[in-house]
Structure 1
Amino acid sequence: MTRKKRRLVLISSALLTLSLAVGLVLFALRDNIVFFYGPSELAQKAPQPGTRLRIGGLVKEGSLKRLDGQSVRFAVTDMKSEVEVAYTGLLPDLFKEGQGVVAEGALGEDHVFRADSVLAKHDERYMPRDVADALKKQGVWQEGAQQLASPGK
């Protein structure tokens, strides 16, 4: 085998090995990829039931209903659309109506979002960046709230 052919075989085997490694990594991470949607985007894109995703927005005033035990239902809104959320577990201490929230879980067949984790803002000056961006995109962002979305700046 000539030097040129050996080099070609070495390069092609290295590319094949790299492709295989990237494919295996992407296959392993497929369940960990979670997309973020606002309520209006969720209504437009209508992902398949059971798909893991995050939704964010504001907890709609008057929508919080405490059920038996630690189960709650509430609506997440961006002032144009809303998504009903069902959650069982302890809510963050700062969770309340009218505040920013991000819920992670899956949309059910009945169009109720079944959350397995709920994140609320951590102080009076912070709103999760994803929620702030979604509210800006929907035209609901209140002027003067820009510094609220990035407390470190």
Structure 2
Amino acid sequence: MIDVNSPPPCDDSDLRAAMEHFFFAYQAFTARPDAILERRGLARVHHRVLFFIAREPGLSVKGLLAKLGVSKQALNTPLRQLIEMGLVDAVADAADKRMKRLYLSAEGARLEATLYREQARLLEGALARAGLDAAGGWLAFNHALSPRDDGDGA
């Protein structure tokens, strides 16, 4: 296990251990939501769409494309499925009717909240086991690993 108080790992075995733990952590983080989604015929891509719309109601399709870093073609099918299933509402923008604003329907909000609770419970448990002091380092690590600026000033 990597000592969080020591310098970042530099040798291959430490990096491989970090990758292994990251892989299994991500697997644990997504397992329950994936099972919930699968029962509805949905996948992880649908979860990402629901997550970002919940985080930013009224997000434009263009804004969602930018958040996800995918092409229109890649987003078209999952977004259309979510709209057809009544989980997402696409509303024409008041100022520009060509622009669609995305909102979760009541059912979509319930599903997203269920997925959120599963992952929040896992994170809360891990932070409790690691110690609350680990949260700042974990957030800094993930922010440094992410190629995106989330715009929240963190």
Per the TM superposition, whether the score is higher than 0.5 is no
Q: Relative to total residues, which structure has the larger helix share, 1 or 2?
A: 2
Q: Relative to total residues, which structure has the larger strand share, 1 or 2?
A: 1
After TM superposition, the score normalised by the length of structure 2 is 0.24
After TM superposition, the score normalised by the length of structure 1 is 0.24
